[in-house]
Every structure is written in structure tokens, then in C-alpha cells.
Structure 1
Amino acid sequence: MTRVRLAGALWALEILFFVAHAIAQAAWTVPFDPMGYAISDLGAVTCFIEPSAGREICSPAHVVMNVGLIVAGLLMAAGALVFPLSAQRPRVDRLSRLLLVIGGLGCAGVGLAPEDVALGPHTIAAIAAMVVGNIGLALFGYALRPSRVVLGSAASTFAIVGLGGVTWLIVLLVTGSPMRYEVGGLAERIAAFSLIAGQVVVGITMIVRATHRAGTALDTPPASSLPMGR
């Protein structure tokens, strides 16, 4: 397996995050509104009433959600380290990989430090995942664009959408808007889902392209076997 295929597979497997999210959400025994509830609520290990909102948080499948976060974060970091370096923009590419590794470790940290166990580390890890990770993906897409314009632009677009979600969430939290309990979950999901979906798209595309190139190379006869021109 080439480095491109391996890296692509690592990022493509981040789709497991969405599977874990769906399982954890389906396991809730109280009404769950993804517009208002945070992703972190699905990873809370205890059942409690959120004081500021007066709503119940209880996630029976919190282990699934936290494992999904940890696995997705490690896959994000590993894929960033394995992808071959861009020849056209190596400095930008190196910076993007560093930021994606930080973002991946942040994502894993969110799962390792649930909100009701270690809120401080959990918050820092979430910022690293959503802010640093999306910036890293945007730069990764920029580094790709000289040779892969469509794919690089798609990666950067996913990241920009994600950063838009981050900005919206920050505004809701900083202003103390009561709307944070109604749409804060949506803003967070735009930030996190865009980051991971962007990498899944890049990963799958890289695998398909590498497989197609390998197949084309196998179908092309060696130069020595081609008929000679007169």
C-alpha cells in the first residue's frame, strides 16, 4: 500500500465518528435536539441537569461517543503525518500537517476528558480540534491546489465552513445569548462535522485516484513491448 492510499484510508475511516455520533444519539432516553445539545453532551459519563439551561443530560452510550472521538482524532493526526509532502508549497504543507496533528490530538482529548469529568482540559481540547484543526485543513487544501485544484479547493471550502461554525459558536458564547441553548449545538456541529467530512472526502478521493492510476499503469504495456514506428 502506497503512502497516499494509507493516508487516504486513515482519513476515510474518520467516518466512524459519524457512526459513533448516531449510535450515541439514538441511545438517549430523553428527547435529544442536535440544534441545542452539544456533541460533548453525548460523551458525558454521568446523568445530570445542566444548571444554566435546566435540561437533562444523560448519554447511556457515552463510551461509544468518546471512543469515536478518540479514534477519529488519532486517525486525523496519523493521516496528516503519512500524506506525502506537497512539492509546490512544502512550507505551507508542513504547517498544515502540524495544525492537523494538533487538531487530531484535540479531538482525541475531547473523548479522553469528558465535559463532566474535566471541563478545563475538555474545553482546551475542543478549541484545538475545531479551531486549529479547521485552519490546518484550510492550509492543507491550499497546499494541494497547484496540482489538485478541485480537491484542494474542496478541502479548503469544508474548512472555511467549519470556521464559520466556530465563529458563530464563539459569538453565541461570548455574548451570552440565550440562543446558545437553541442553536449552539448546530453551530458546533457545523464546525466539527465540516472538519471531519472534509478529511473523509479527501481520503476517499485520494484512494480512488491512486487506485485508478495503479490500474492504468498495469494496463499500459512496457515500452519495450510496444510496436516500433518505421
Structure 2
Amino acid sequence: MNFWYILMIIFTIMTFFASFIIRRKQNRSALIGYITWILLSLYFIVEYIVIKTTEAPYNFYKQPMSDLGVTTCGKNTYDIANYLICSPNHLLMNWTFTLTGIAIFVGAILIQPSWPNHRRIKLATILLIIFGLSYSVSGIIPADINFKWHTLSALPGMVVHIPALIMIGNSVKTKWPKLSIWTYVCVFISTTSLLLLFFQPFFDLPGGLLQRILYGSVYLWMTVTAIILWKYERITN
């Protein structure tokens, strides 16, 4: 395995365990969590840069995000890619996938104490950790290196955030009713995108765009939510 991908594995594992250690220092850990979720908004900036440097036509609306992380140029680079792919900045894209996943689970771990102390919040946090790890692994294992494991690692991340956000929305509806509504709006957008993706084989739907809406709605929820919680903490403290 390439040195950079080994480094991704090491960095993911280290930050995972470090997050639980940092969380004990509650006066600082929540702030780090807010910042990591806010930084998720940078994802699509990096993706735009990678798309602009591709050496084969890339269809933002049709092609999956994973194509930007494919490490080889040509047709049939992985099982269902019977079209030309060439992404010279694939390493940057795969690092972005990995770091995005890390930002998700680090934020979930460190922000948990900021939520109401409900059992649902703990379960939602576990699901968001799985979401982040799933996203990281999809960057560590590009589609053309091992399509089976790339796909299997990515699948949980397409689903687990939905029940997680539903549980969070339900848990905060008394304390933060507007945040609860915002959460349910993002759940609706993400769920609708996921359902439409299932119909993609039967209809001419923009799969690439739907995938971005699916994940982007969660990134947006995390960014806005982190800002709201940060402001609330500053006011109350």
C-alpha cells in the first residue's frame, strides 16, 4: 500500500482515540468539536479544485464523488466505470475524504457533552462516529484499488446519519425548537436524495448531484449546528 494511504490509516486511528482523551477537558474539547464541524464547509471548495484539474471530462451531475479519488487513468478503472476517468489530484481528493470523515467523528465525540443528556444522544453520537469512519475509509480505499471494500465502507455512511439526526432533533425539540426543525429539514433533504439514488438504475437521474446533496445536507447541518451551539455556549457561560 502507498505510504500516503498508510499515513491516512495511522492518522485516522490516532485522532479517533485522541478525541476521547481530549473530551475529558470539557472547557476546550467542545470548541475543537465546533471548529471541526464548521471546517466541513471547505469540502466542496477542495472538490471544485480537483474537478477543475481532471484530465478527462468529469460530469458533476452524473459521476460519483469517488471518481475524483480514482488513482489510475483510463476506462474500466473499477467494476462499473465503463467511461474515461483521469484525476491527477486523486491523492488530494482521498485525503479530503479521509479528513472529512475525521472531522465528522471528532466533532461528534467532542460535541456530545453539549447536547442534552439523553440516551438517544449517545446512540446518535455512535451513529455519527460510524458515519465519519465510513467516510474516512472510503478515502483510504479508493474505488479502483478495491471496489468491493470501497463500496462496503461507504454504504453505512449513506444511511446511519439519518436516524442519528432524527434522534438529535427529537432530543432538542424542547430546549432548542428551531434547531430541531432545522435538523428535520436536513433529514428530509438527505432522505429524499437517498431514496432517489435507489431509483437511479431505472430513471435518468443526476446521481452525482444527488450524492452531493445527500452528504452536503449533513455537512450543512453540522456547520450551522456547530455555530448555534457555540453561540449558545458563549451566551450561557
So what's the TM-score if we normalise by structure 2?
A: 0.80
Q: Mark the CA change 1:92 to 1:16 in structure 2 (over 3 Å): closer, same or farther.
A: same
Per the alignment, residue 190 of structure 2 pairs with 162
Post-superposition offset of 1:179 = 2.0
Measure, in 2, the Cα distance between the counterparts of 1:16 and 1:82.
20
Offset, 1:137: 2.6
Which residue identity is paired with 2:219?
Answer: I
For residues 150 and 138 of structure 1, the distance between their equivalents in structure 2, rounded to whole angstroms, comes to 14
| Letter in structure 1 aligned against 2:230 | I
Q: Return closer, same or farther for 1:53/1:104 CA change in 2, 3 Å cut-off.
A: closer
When residues 37 and 14 of structure 1 are mapped into structure 2, their CA distance, relative to the original with a 3 A threshold, is same
Encode CA deviations 1:150-176: one digit per residue, 9 max, x unaligned. 11221232122112111111222xxx3
2:222 maps to what in 1? Answer: 199
Per the TM alignment, residue 85 of structure 1 is displaced from its structure 2 partner at its CA by: 5.7
Match of 1:177 in 2: 202
Aligned partners of 2:30 and 2:114 also within 8 Å: no
2:20 is matched with none
Name the residue aligned to 1:221. Answer: none
Deviation for aligned residue 1:31: 2.5
Amino acid across the alignment from 1:118: N
The corresponding residue for 1:153 is 181
Structure 1 residue 53 displacement after superposition = 6.4
Q: Separation in 1 of the partners of 2:171 and 2:147?
A: 35
Question: What is the CA-CA distance between 1:98 and the residue it aligns to?
Answer: 0.8
Name the structure 2 match of 1:17.
Answer: 43
The runs of 5 or more residues in structure 1 that have no matched partner are 215-230
Question: How many correspondences in the alignment?
Answer: 208
Q: Which residue of 2 aligns with 1:59?
A: 87
Q: Which runs of 5+ in 2 are unaligned?
A: 1-26
Name the aligned partner's letter for residue 195 of structure 1: V
Which residue in 1 is equivalent to 2:213? 190
TM-score normalised by length of structure 1: 0.82
Aligned to 1:46: 72
1:9, 1:207 within 8 Å by CA — same for their partners in 2?
Answer: no
Matches within 5 A, 1:209-228: 209-214=232-237
> Match for residue 69 of structure 1?
97
Tell me the secondary structure at the aligned position of residue 199 of structure 1: helix
Q: Say whether the 8 Å CA contact 1:12–1:199 is kept in structure 2.
A: yes
Sequence identity (%): 25
Q: Following the alignment from structure 2 to structure 1, what is the Cα–Cα distance between the partners of residues 31 and 151?
A: 33
In the alignment, is the contact (CA less than 8 A) between 1:139 and 1:156 conserved in 2?
Answer: no
